[in-house]
Amino acid sequence: MVLVLCIGDLHIPDRVIDIPPKFKALLVPGKIHKILCTGNLSSEATYDYLRYICSDITRVQGEFDQHQSPPDTKVVSIGEFKIGLCHGHQIVPWGDKAAISALQRKLDVDILVIGHTHQFQAYKSADGGGFVINPGSATGAPSLLTARNEEGSTAAPSFVLMDVNGTRATVYMYQLVSGEVKVEKMVYEKT
């Protein structure tokens, strides 16, 4: 079993001050084996915080990352899965499922982790080509792509923990809704 944190679009301190305390209480060192980061950390201090949680980090370039120059896409193997990583600002139109599927085929990956929209998504590709995860924004940072609700806030802060065991990936989606942590679960099996 490998526990993988999928996280991104933090925008600390440009748009928000920090990760919500209820999420920080869950993200403790020693439990997570690998981090896949979709970028837009916005600061080296945020990267250092993620390294504090787990030193095994794979990250890609977000359009607001200025401190380092990670690649635009990356492919890693975890368990029996090939997992692709891309921030998502390169996808046109942003968040388009057909364009995301095309990238997934181009990278030849079973699971694609993508960000940019700040909205959580997890779904099996329509063409049967694999699984897509967008962990959203762990801080709930505002975005031009996220609509505001009647309280004036944008999408709920969210991240994903993925338990990879051989050909099975159990995906736990964490969202902060009305001050409470909500968790949903999905399972993706590689055939």
Nearest to 62 by CA among 99, 105, 12, 19: 12
DSSP string, the chain: -EEEEEE----TTTT-SS--HHHHHH--TTT-SEEEE-S---SHHHHHHHHHH-S-EEE---TT--S----SEEEEEETTEEEEEE-STTSSSTT-HHHHHHHHHHHT-SEEEE-SS-S-EEEE-TTSS-EEEE---TT----TTS---TTS--SPPEEEEEEEETTEEEEEEEEEETTEEEEEEEEEE--
pTM of the model: 0.91
Other CB atoms within 10 A of residue 88 CB = 27
CATH of domain 2-189: 3.60.21.10
- Specify the pLDDT at position 149: 47
pLDDT one digit per residue (tens) for the chain, 191 residues: 999 999 999 998 888 899 999 999 999 999 999 999 999 988 889 999 999 999 999 999 888 777 667 888 999 999 999 999 999 888 877 778 888 888 999 999 999 999 998 889 999 887 767 899 999 999 998 876 655 544 445 678 999 999 999 999 999 999 999 999 999 999 999 88
In this structure, the dihedral spanned by the alpha carbons of residues 191, 79, 56 and 6, taken in order and rounded to 10 degrees, is 30
Q: How many angstroms separate the most distant Cα atoms in the chain?
A: 44
CB contact at 8 A, 129 and 91? no
